[in-house]
Amino acid sequence: MQTRTLADWMADVDAYVAGPAAMWAQEIEATGTVPQAVWEELNDRGYLRLTAPRDLGGYGLSFTDYLQLLERFAAMHGSMRVIVHVTNSLWRSLASKASAEQLERFVKPFIGGQLRATFTLTEPNSGSGADIKTTARREGCEYIVNGEKWMIIFSDVADYFLLFCRLEGTSGGEGTLALMVPKDTAGLEIEWMAPAMGITGTQHGHLRLVNCRVPVSNRLGEEGDGLEVAFRGFLDPSRTAIGMTCVGAAKRSLELAAEHALARVTFGQPLAKRQIIQMWLAEMATDIEAARHLVLHAARKFDAGQPITVEASMAKMFATEMLQRVTDKALQIHGGPGYFKSSEIERLYRDARMQRFEEGTSEIQKMVIARDVLDKAKAARERRNRG
């Protein structure tokens, strides 16, 4: 496989984002669909296997290096950004508990672009965690799966759904399963959900599973490993990566706002001459830089093999809320013309709102962070009491 430096990758991505990706953005917004050619082009350029290990067919970039590329990708159309982000994250879940046979059957084809899979956890009547209600019952060499999943991204193009469920009669984290469910499984019905506010062209599905028979050989890990496959392999790095996509989108919003402030003349002078505009630009730039450092701090710990659950939640929470502040100020600087769909800032503003839902809301992140704060306080109190 061709060896490239990080600088090579950066130059390549910058050129792609400014050229072909910008043209695709216009087509996606005009047609409301993401052409298959977009997937093929991103795969052919190697963008969908940047983080995967070389022995599995990827380029083996460190997480920190990859995030510096993802910051650049985040200036693309939201749907294209999601493709790059999810594909470079999901292989971890697939590979985390895969057998040697499953590495060949599922993981390597996914990394190589011959197979598409999508993360299938969220349900209409439960949260995205230990309260999943979709069940499985083992009968011989098969599981009989019943339940519902919804808001499942890439439902239109996935060959397999990496579906999380639980053995009948279990609760909490016990008895959870990670199953690779083929899209053509009998009893699996996919209903397309209404178009989203942003990320135009990305299709979400509502899955209904009625007595779906899934081979036991499609189970990743053992019975009871489902949530570990979902969270340990995917969630922490994905939350961190979302933080960097917010940095990239905010940076592009700041660039557009600054360019508009220099060009737009009112009452005989550019907007950039007005002190309030200068204050907003300064706040936006500082917000972006603070988020970038939080994200990179988590990434460096991840590369060092250290746990990052709390750091990932901090990075994700701060960066998503930062993006809302920055895009709001950027749209305000653009004024009325920025509100129309012919404006790039209008699309960025719409796309930005999704990141606050991806991989858990800010409220979920705050719960993770608060739990860590309280655990440390309890431990400190116990040490004092023992002393």
Catalytic residue annotation? 359
Q: How far apart are CA 239 and CA 92, in angstroms?
A: 13
Q: How far apart are CA 294 and CA 315, in angstroms?
A: 5
Q: How far apart are CA 25 and CA 35, in angstroms?
A: 11
CB neighbour class for 27 (10 Å; exposed up to 12, middle 13-18, buried from 19): middle
Q: How far apart are CA 164 and CA 170, in angstroms?
A: 14
Q: How far apart are CA 31 and CA 34, in angstroms?
A: 8
Q: 289 to each of 109, 329, 353, how far by Cα in Å?
A: 37, 16, 20
Query: Are 95 and 234 within 8 A, CB to CB?
Result: no
Strand-pair category, 117-120 with 160-167: parallel
Q: How far apart are CA 314 and CA 57, in angstroms?
A: 32
Which phi and psi angles does 132 have, rounded to 5°?
Answer: -60, 140
How far out from the chain centre does Cα 93 lie?
13
The structure tokens 């693309």 sit at: 76
Kindly state the DSSP code that residue 216 receives in the 8-state scheme: G
**Cross-strand partners of 139:** 142
Sign of CA dihedral 330, 331, 333, 334: positive
What is the token pair recorded at 290? 């603070």
Helices (H), 208-357: 226-230, 236-263, 275-303, 309-334, 344-352
CB neighbour class for 152 (10 Å; exposed up to 12, middle 13-18, buried from 19): buried
Query: Are 15 and 7 within 8 A, CB to CB?
Result: no
Q: How far apart are CA 152 and CA 280, in angstroms?
A: 37
